[in-house]
Amino acid sequence: MDKIAVLIPCYNESQTIAKVVSDFKKSLPEAKIYVYDNCSTDHTDLIARQAGAIVRYEDKQGKGNVLRRMFREIDAECYILVDGDDTYPAEHAGEMADLVLNHQKDMVIGDRLSSTYFTENKRAFHNFGNRLVRLLINALFKSELRDIMTGYRAFSYQFVKSFPVLYRGFEIETEMTIHAVDKNMNIGSLIVDYRDRPAGSESKLNTFSDGIAVLKTIGNLWKNYKPLHFFSILSLLLLIVAALVFVPVVFIPYLKTGLVANFPTLIVCGFVVIAALISFFTGLILDSIIKKEKREFEFRLQLLQRKEV
């Protein structure tokens, strides 16, 4: 098992990967540097190997697919995850590793948003999207995290080996964060500098399509991790809709005339109320299943801890 493993997923990062590998070798000379090439066409793998990295491959496109393979293949006491675009300084890696190795942190978030991100990043929609995702996650999951979408993180062995990678693309950062919050893992945060990509280096993140995918992921994970909360709100909305239609169209005319003049509306409102009740009890049932799964997860963590020792 490695002491520290630096994980660098890459897709066409030939302009920056040599510097990233070199910087991390200087900052963490005891670490092993792994570069996972994800279908690059610009010889990123050759450049990384020449720079001294251990190069491996993932043929399925998407950052989530790369992390799934990394987490399965590599055993280490501490994992440092960083992008290959040279936007994160390697100088912070030692402190992040220390928080995992000596302070029992399961995940350390490299917080860009509290430092230079909003001045360095020139894409306004990216800045808005990061703020929106942070607001939604903290509100829905009752957390106080400062950066959700950062690509600079450190993990413990227990986190990596217990984390189920479900998403294939850039939604993976959101998934990791929600998993750590929901499973009550020990989360640390370290303010890190951020610098924009160098000239000629292009981001693989599409502002709109990937942004929509991340928002959909938040909705799905909210439903999956907090079903009672999700379905209770859905039930309440259905009851409000039924009441807004029922009261002026059916109930008030009935009080005036003693007759039900709009039976179709009455029937539709009845079905909406039934749907609201079904939604609420669905949330109750799924909530019981989730609580059982959390107990089983704690047992799996104990088994992982024994294996690590």
- pLDDT, tens digit, 9 for 90 and up, residues 198-242: 665 566 566 677 678 778 888 888 998 899 999 999 999 999 999
Shortest CA distance to 126 belongs to which of 177, 68, 197?
A: 197
Confidence (pLDDT) at 228: 94
- Rounded Cα gap, residues 241 and 233, in angstroms: 12
Shortest CA distance to 87 belongs to which of 211, 203, 210, 206?
A: 203
Please report, for the chain, the start and end positions of each structural domain, with discontinuous segments joined by +.
2-224, 227-308
CATH of 2-224, one of 3.40.50.300, 3.40.190.10, 3.40.50.620, 3.90.550.10: 3.90.550.10
pTM over 0.75: yes
Among the listed ranges 57-61, 73-77, 161-165, 301-305, which one has the minimum average pLDDT value? 301-305
Q: What average pLDDT does the segment 106-122 reach?
A: 83
What's the order of all strands across the beta sheet hosting 32-37?
54-57, 32-37, 2-10, 76-81, 153-156, 107-111, 187-191
Q: How confident is the model at residue 301 (pLDDT cuts 50, 70, 90)?
A: confident
Instruction: Determine what percent of the chain is predicted with pLDDT higher than 90.
Output: 59
User: With 80 as the cut, is the pLDDT of residue 190 above it?
Assistant: yes
Q: What average pLDDT does the segment 274-278 reach?
A: 96
State the average pLDDT for the chain. 89
Q: Tell me the one-letter amino acid at 276.
A: A
Confidence (pLDDT) at 124: 60
Q: Is 3 helix (H, G, I), strand (E, B) or coil?
A: strand
- Rounded Cα gap, residues 293 and 234, in angstroms: 23
